[in-house]
A and B are shown apart, each in its own frame.
Chain A
Amino acid sequence: MNHRHTLSVLVENKPGVLTRIAGMFARRGYNIHSLAVGPTEDERVSRLTLVVGTEAVQLEQIIKQLNKLVHVLKIVELEENAAIEREMQLVKVNADPAIRSQIIEIAEVFRAKIVDVDHDSITIEVAGNPSKLEAIVELLQPYGIRELVRSGTIALARGTRSISDGSKLRMRQVS
């Protein structure tokens, strides 16, 4: 059975590291649902959040193959209910002055922000978990969505522990 799994991956901030990871997925026939990458609290380290849809055996292979990449420092699977997951979405929706207020109302319910208003359109910024983003899209659909962009998922585990605990960059002796 295919399940959605969220992986947090710490990588050395080296040129081509993203290509290496994307290439490994392509070469081994694994699917990536979403991928987000950005800096972390340590400038030498970037953090990737990968969402993959796969069964357990293949997930294990994915993690092991990722670990074989020299620039990958650490991989953690974030369990759905033990992590906070967020995506960001911008939606440009048709809104002539007559219906503008209805759309603003929808945005308020979702705690979304109006980030741009033009004569006959409104652009809404909304962040949240994937199901929330899908819900607002459903409500806006009838007005006519002109354009939509959505980021990859980013996620952090709940609680005090940090993924970088114990993954200090260390020097090693040549064997």
Chain B
Amino acid sequence: MERILEQMPRFFSGPNLILLLESAGLTLAMTVAGCLIGFGLAFVLVFLRQTPGLWALPLRFVCILYVEVFRRIPFIVVIYLVLFFIQTVTPNASLFTIAVIAICLYAVAYTADIIRGGLESVPLAQIEAAQAMNLSRLQTNLRIVLPQAWPVIIPPAIAFAVSFIKDTALVSQVGVFELTFRGKELNNQGYSGILVFGTIALCYFLMSFPLSMLGQYLEKRLATPRGQRRSRKIWFT
């Protein structure tokens, strides 16, 4: 304990703080970029998966296979696969890029199922009403199904991203200087492990907590009937 108190001023000095902030920023950037791109691609995947007709059977099969495979392999394996694959293709790709790609590939598989669940929660009658007016499949999805599916999609999608902030710690295994990696470094420099990783834990909490709150807020807001929505404000209640 005394050692921790003694180390504190030095630990929370400028260079260390900058280092921690930088790596926290990197962690957040990787997660947000990977999850956002992954989320976008997941929509494409779900849309392709819904392609009707016999000719699209292989397409649907590939889409299902992708989701099922990526949901069954550990994230760390995905990271190594991406690392070795990308490095054979373009040897000078940055580790950050590799991390984002790995997160993205993983996020696609998980959020695709969330999105599919959301789309399927919209009653078939809504879709048939749109079809009867000659809306195309894309128009029906964009104008009718998706707007009604958001309340079902957003909360678990944000929950996924929040939980992923901490899973990104795994990319330190391939040498991306994210938060946990920096922690190990500082620990090796002789700082108390409790001090270092206590601070790191706090950083993770500070990054994910606001996002969780945002998720809860959106969940409440989206669950409010449209007609009553504009006037009412629900903050953290």
The yes or no verdict on A and B being binding partners is no
Which positions in A face B, CB cutoff 8 Å? none
Interface residues of B (CB under 8 A from A): none
